[in-house]
Amino acid sequence: MRRKLQRFLDNASQRNLLEPGKPAFDNVLGNWNRDIFGNDRQLVVELGCGYGELAVALAESSPNRNVIGVDKRGARMWVGSSDATARGLVNVAFLRADIAELDRYFGPGEIGEIWITFPDPRPKHRDARRRLTSPRFLNTYKQLLRGDGWVRFKTDDAELFDYTLALLGNGIGVRSLAYTKDLYHSPLLTEQSGLQTRYETRFLERGASIKYLEFQFHSGRPARHTTARP
């Protein structure tokens, strides 16, 4: 508990971590590049970034892009925020916020790429709306992504993966969809898709196969609000 409190105290003075109470927090919508990064580079957003390993690795491997990790748990993001500071990375930031309210922090078309990494599977049918790949979330991502923007999704959970694939083939309106149920034996494995999060490393150590998909949205058509059963 003391460690967690210390992390919250540290977060309060971390420049790369935005959270309620900090002046920049309430004004980021539409202003990430102008106010936070001071340049005009593409924004990459990782949803549910946890300890921030991927956000930091993406920032390090793509100095020409700005990366933002989003999570509601500040004590976890402390790890990524501190690591980014120690590495001198100026193109990564962390946002403590609820992903259900993503449109309070990003404007239409402001995001260039979205990563959804090992989200909670929420297997109960009554929790389907809370899955980060449910139609209401997908609709928000579509609104906030640039027309040519990509969504990239990784999970170890077969049911969540199949649920997501079924939705994408069912009126959501996507293009360029590619997927694999075993990323590390697939041509979809790239330097980028092979960057690992903390949960991913754990799952791989247990022998799990990593499911991965990527797609772009068709412009226009909104995602249909059907709820596919797992």
Ligand X SMILES: C[S@@+](CC[C@H](N)C(=O)[O-])C[C@H]1O[C@@H](n2cnc3c(N)ncnc32)[C@H](O)[C@@H]1O
Site residues, ligand X (CB under 6 A): 48-50, 71-73, 76, 98-100, 117-120, 197-200
Nearer to ligand X, 142 or 198 (CB): 198
The single residue of 26, 120, 148, 182 carrying the catalytic annotation is 120
Find, among 40, 31, 44, 90, the residue nearest to 70 by Cα.
44
Find, among 21, 15, 20, the residue nearest to 35 by Cα.
15
Nearer to ligand X, 185 or 202 (CB): 202
- The angle, 0 to 180 degrees and rounded to 10, between the axes of the packed helices 74-86 and 2-13 is 60
Nearer to ligand X, 118 or 217 (CB): 118
> In angstroms, what is the minimal distance from the CB of 72 to ligand X?
4
Nearer to ligand X, 49 or 144 (CB): 49
Q: What is d(CA 88, CA 209) in angstroms, rounded to the nearest whole number?
A: 34
Order the strands of the 42-47 sheet from edge to edge: 17-18, 92-96, 65-71, 42-47, 111-117, 145-155, 211-217, 174-180
Q: Judge whether 120 counts as a catalytic residue.
A: yes
How many alpha carbons fall within 13 Å on the CB side of residue 16? 26
Residue found under tokens 């092979």: 194
Q: What is d(CA 212, CA 52) in angstroms, rounded to the nearest whole number?
A: 19
Q: What is d(CA 93, CA 18) in angstroms, rounded to the nearest whole number?
A: 8
In this structure, are strands 65-71 and 42-47 parallel, antiparallel, or unpaired?
A: parallel
Nearer to ligand X, 152 or 198 (CB): 198
CB 50 within 8 A of CB 75: no
Catalytic positions: 120
